[in-house]
Amino acid sequence: MLSIVIALIGGYVFGTLQNHHAIELPPSDWAEGIEAAQAWREFSASLEAGGALVVESAPDVQARHDGLAFIAELASASLEMKLTRGSTTQPQFTDWMSGYRKFLGDSPDALYHSAEVSSENQYVISGHRGDADYVGLTLYGRHINGWNRVSAHLTHDDIEFDTQGNFSVSVSVIRPEGARGNWLAMDKDAHLIMVRQYFHDRDQATKATLQIENLSAKPKEATEPVSLSGDLRRAAEFFNSTLQGTVTLARMVSQMPNSIESPRDYSPDFGGVFYPTPDNEYLGGWYKLEKDEALIVEGAVPNAAYWSVSLQNRWLQSLDYEKHQTALNHRQIQTEDGQYAVIISSQKPPSGNWLDTAGRDEGLLAIRYQRVVESEAPTIRLVKFSNFKL
């Protein structure tokens, strides 16, 4: 009996230890001759290379931790966008960024939903506007170098809603018969549509409901290995391009800390990596602070429907706005005589509009002016916190 108990205990301990061991890599030829397996191996290689790039690029432990979490979240989004919800014949919206994942410079005041599309099909997007202060639909095509370009765009001002707030927008190459303002024209290279919602008070607002339907769809066929292979490769492509774009932008901007001058190497075409909207004017720069320093952003209040100042880590993820005050919009920023000032520091100042660096001594300062009529570029100045004055 004792021997049985010892054997059971030994087996439990051995199993527990084994569960904590990393799995050994299989022989390199395990995927040969299987297209879907080869595509999976390519996706896995992207994750491995991404981890190496993050560790190489991170200047400290916090940035490394943030970076590894970032690529895990990016991998989740890549698979959902291109595999789980990646069909252009049976499209579904992917909620890009929520509390559980962030990338490409998300705004704490916005929601982003995207769907894969093809100009071979005719789609209709329908739903209810909710309480969003801004709704924008943007179609993206590609430049010759593969970077994204805005090919068509509509906002809530262009869309006809019924008295209940419901809407329907046709998306096609040729305007459907009877369609009036609610039509988004597709170019031949259209590949993705994004719906943005901005809220002046996101926590208290009712989010829009969204559906997308392919009016050209045939009965859904069973998933085939060749389709899986393509989806996995598209997921890897999105993962790789997003990670490379993120690292490249951080390297560019961080060379000019505590400045809002555009990097000399930055090109508007490169900005397509980040799926911009034509309704936003993007400003900002790189903040880099010692513990006893603060950065003050000062500017004229823009003539804009919405504007905000927020902080992001080097992986272009908004800092934790649930636990820290890392973003302020025009409803929250106190102004005086048409001017605003925002203080960025690790310590809370005695007064003023404060953004908490949340333990990140450096990162991206993001300023958004939305649907701006007139604006001036803000200025920034570095001060000692002990000598802090507005």
What pLDDT shows up at residue 330? 97
Residue 368 placed within a domain? yes
Q: Which helix (H) or strand (E) holds 152?
A: strand 148-155
Residue 314 placed within a domain? yes
Contact between 294 and 270 under an 8 Å Cβ cutoff? The reply is no
Strand partners, 368: 282, 308
Mean pLDDT, the chain, as a whole number?
Answer: 90
296: three-class secondary structure by DSSP:
strand
Spatial neighbors of 212 by CB under 8 A, at least 6 apart, are 91, 92, 93, 115, 123, 124, 125, 193
**Cα 242 to Cα 274: distance, rounded to the nearest angstrom:** 8
Contact between 140 and 112 under an 8 Å Cβ cutoff? The reply is no
What pLDDT shows up at residue 21? 65
This prediction's pTM: 0.91
**Cα 328 to Cα 310: distance, rounded to the nearest angstrom:** 6
**Cα 321 to Cα 305: distance, rounded to the nearest angstrom:** 22
Quickly state the pLDDT bin for 10 (edges 50, 70, 90): low
Residue 374 placed within a domain? yes
**Cα 385 to Cα 291: distance, rounded to the nearest angstrom:** 8
Complete DSSP assignment for 278-290: TTEEEEEEEEE--
pLDDT surpassing 90 at residue 211: yes
358 lies in which domain range?
256-387
The Cα angle at residue 380 between residues 376 and 385, in degrees rounded to 5: 150
Residue 364 placed within a domain? yes
Average pLDDT over residues 251-275: 88
pLDDT surpassing 80 at residue 222: no
Residue 93 placed within a domain? no
Indicate the number of domains in the chain. Answer: 1
Residue 110 placed within a domain? no
Q: pLDDT digit string (tens) for 76-115?
A: 999 999 999 999 999 999 999 877 899 999 999 999 999 9
Residue 140 placed within a domain? no
CATH number for the domain including 293?
2.60.120.600
Average pLDDT over residues 38-55: 97
